[in-house]
Structure 1
């Protein structure tokens, strides 16, 4: 008995659908838009929970791993982080200038200079710790 060509085609199609993993194409040049109801939009936003909507839809549609939610940092923390980075840059510039002056001999490496450099290092560590604590995601429990 000869197999039905439609059965073979159906089996191939079913197998393709079961193995529908699409390799990510990193040159995303095509835009697709579609309409949803307000209820669907609300549901999509709830399901995304911090993940970019296009990434969420792509992950669900093409069986990619779901990306990690984006970090939500309060505005006050963002401003503090900005200021901390400026302070950190200033400390790095001071350290570089002192080390360069010592290197070329225009500044002796006295105990005061060593103490100042140590203080700058300690401040840099404190800045990093503060930056890390301000960058923590907001928990839903608070």
Structure 2
């Protein structure tokens, strides 16, 4: 007995729809692009509500759990965090330079140098605390 090709195709389609789960950790190498209207884009953005659009679409299409929304940090805080990171990098460079100079003997480890290193350490800790407080998400308004 031979199976009708349309029945076979229909069965394959039904199997594909029933088994929509795809391994989420597979390497994603293919880009898919499609067009939407302005209204559709607005609706998608509303539904995403802080979730990356591609993650939202993938979750809805392949029945993955919806990812957690990204933290909302005000722009002024992001800019301040960027500047704090630059200052922190400068402090780390100074600390390394002083420690290297002491290590090779071109800078004696005097009390002034020890105090300066301690001040840098305290400033770095203060920068970390400030960074942490600025990184707190803001409350979303309904």
TM class by smaller structure: 0.7 to 0.9
Gaps of 5+ in 1: none
Question: What is the CA-CA distance between 1:60 and the residue it aligns to?
Answer: 0.6
Gaps of 5+ in 2: none
What is the match of residue 28 of structure 1?
30
Number of residue pairs aligned between Structure 1 and Structure 2: 138
TM-score with structure 1 length normalisation?
Answer: 0.78
CA-to-aligned-CA distance 1:54-103 (integer Å, 9 cap, x gap): 22111110122323323332221122112111211111111011101110
- Structure 1 residue runs of 4+, over 6 Å off? 4-12
Cα distance in 2 between the residues matched to 1:11 and 1:132: 55
What aligned pairs does 1:1-142 form with structure 2 within 5 A after superposition? 14-23=14-23, 24-29=26-31, 31-36=32-37, 38=39, 40-141=40-141
Q: Which stretch of the first structure deviates more once superposed, 9-18 or 53-62?
A: 9-18
Cα distance in 1 between the residues matched to 2:49 and 2:19: 27
TM-score with structure 2 length normalisation?
Answer: 0.78
Q: Which stretch of the first structure deviates more once superposed, 55-64 or 67-76?
A: 67-76
